[in-house]
């Protein structure tokens, strides 16, 4: 078994998006109920959250944007953009989301835990340097990547994003940075409209952004193939010091926003692929952070499957990967070939 840490804090519920918003506190309520249940209780090390500092936020975000969010503190709820709400406590909760993830990566790098999952909100991967987007206020995972470089002397960080939606904010944060490899699978065409195969990075960072846009209907096996045939060989050549994961559970087969066909076992399988990769390239250093996922029952069961895989309590993912594969999806064949054709200029990938 592995020692797996979790970040959980009831203060994350204080980010109030309104009664009918899909990114609501109910998402964490069902997850926290699951980790408190008898079959899960006391199996994970609790990592306390903290407030990120202004300096840490400004590694990624513009000062005027930080000040805009700070100005909402204690004020009546307002929309930051079409999708994203700031309630009186959202500024503090957003700082707590970033700080919770930073404490988690601290615990992994210091050897206190083997890996971990930050069960936090608001999510972050859509947040741009100067604006909110897609329910996201601060870009939690982008700040964590900078933290690993600036405070933990990590030279190279891999960010993997399996959310239904492309992580535009994360991509743009590192589009000219060859110390960060950003890999995304996402439904396309779909919000936010970024993540084309040919979006590969600028100048010396060309090839350090790898986008795999997918049509609806992709299954566990389809995602496994993409990760095994594209991500793993590229990541091994990149050889990161740490792996961060934007885990969106809106690729779940019953998610109201998505059209993918991934099951709980599929999420466990993706986790196992990343654990095996981390074991090979960076001594297992792996931290996952919560992004999307809006079917509450599916979110709860899928997060549970990921946690069990991380801690090696119930290795459904390993079992799912060992199953005999069915007929190949011709669309996935085509997208794998197209991604390889673009990326083979930068990586040895057949």
Tell me the C-alpha distance between 178 and 207, whole Å: 8
Q: How many H helices and E strands in the chain?
A: 12, 10
Q: Rounded to an integer, what is the distance from CA 206 to the centroid of its chain? A: 22
Span between the terminal Cα atoms of the chain, in Å? 35
Tell me the C-alpha distance between 114 and 243, whole Å: 12
Tokens of 70: 């700070």
Q: Which of 300, 290, 292 is nearest to 119 (CA)?
A: 290
Tell me if residue 248 falls in helix, strand or coil.
Answer: coil
Whole-number Cα distances in Å, 36 to 29, 44, 113, 268: 11, 10, 19, 20
Tell me the C-alpha distance between 81 and 78, whole Å: 9
Q: What are phi and psi of 70, to 5 degrees?
A: -60, -35
The vertex-53 CA angle with 119 and 10, nearest 5°, equals 30
34, 303 contact by CB (below 8 A): yes
- Which residue's entry shows tokens 């109030």? 16
Tell me the C-alpha distance between 24 and 304, whole Å: 19
The residues that are catalytic are 126
């Amino acid at each position: 078994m592995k020692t797996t840490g979790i970040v959980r804090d009831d203060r994350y519920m204080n980010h109030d998006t309104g009664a009918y918003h899909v990114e609501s506190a109910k998402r964490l309520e069902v997850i926290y109920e699951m980790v408190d249940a008898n079959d899960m209780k006391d199996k994970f090390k609790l990592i306390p959250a903290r407030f990120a500092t202004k300096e840490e936020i400004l590694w990624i975000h513009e000062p005027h944007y930080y000040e805009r969010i700070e100005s909402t503190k204690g004020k009546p709820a307002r929309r930051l953009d079409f999708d994203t709400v700031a309630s009186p406590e959202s500024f503090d909760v957003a700082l707590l989301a970033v700080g919770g993830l930073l404490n988690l990566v601290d615990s992994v790098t210091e050897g206190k835990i083997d890996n971990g999952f930050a069960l936090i909100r608001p999510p972050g991967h859509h947040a741009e340097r100067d604006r909110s987007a897609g329910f996201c206020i601060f870009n939690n995972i982008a700040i964590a990547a900078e933290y690993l470089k600036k405070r933990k002397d990590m030279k190279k960080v891999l960010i993997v994003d399996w959310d239904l939606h492309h992580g535009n904010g994360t991509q743009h944060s590192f589009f000219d940075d060859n110390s960060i490899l950003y890999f995304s699978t996402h439904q396309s065409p779909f919000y936010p409209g970024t993540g084309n195969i040919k979006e590969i990075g600028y100048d010396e960072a060309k090839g350090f952004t790898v986008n795999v846009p997918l049509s609806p209907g992709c299954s566990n096996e389809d995602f496994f193939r993409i990760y095994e045939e594209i991500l793993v060989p590229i990541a091994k050549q990149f050889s990161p010091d740490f792996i961060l994961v934007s885990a969106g559970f809106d690729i779940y087969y019953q998610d109201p926003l998505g059209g993918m066909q991934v099951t709980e076992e599929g999420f466990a399988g993706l986790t196992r692929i990343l654990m095996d990769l981390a074991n090979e390239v960076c001594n297992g250093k792996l931290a996952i952070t919560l992004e999307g996922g809006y079917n509450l029952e599916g979110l709860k069961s899928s997060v549970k499957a990921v946690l069990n895989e991380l801690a090696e309590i119930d290795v459904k993912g390993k079992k799912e990967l060992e199953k005999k594969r069915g007929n190949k999806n011709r669309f996935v064949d085509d997208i794998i070939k197209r991604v390889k054709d673009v990326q083979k200029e930068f990586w040895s990938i057949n």
